[in-house]
Amino acid sequence: AEYLASLDVLAVGGSWLAPVSLVAAEDWDEIEAEAQATASAVAATRGD
């Protein structure tokens, strides 16, 4: 997503980071892994 490269974008949210199934299963490790993967993808897009 090109908008992630914009330094004007401060935050992005989405329920897909913590799907109901993972929350219901209390799979906090997988939720954390998804969040870290997303943060890494954003950093790579921005060149951080």
Q: Where are the domains of the chain?
A: 2-46
pLDDT at 7 > cutoff 90: no
State how far the Cα of 46 lies from the Cα of 23, in Å rounded to an integer.
Answer: 29
pLDDT at 2 > cutoff 90: no
pLDDT tens-digit readout, 21-40: 999 999 999 999 999 998 89
Tokens matching residue 16 = 């897909």
Question: How many Cβ atoms sit within 10 Å of the Cβ of residue 28?
Answer: 11
How many Å separate Cα 13 from the centre of its chain?
8
pLDDT at 13 > cutoff 90: no
pLDDT at 18 > cutoff 80: yes
Give the mean pLDDT of the chain.
Answer: 88
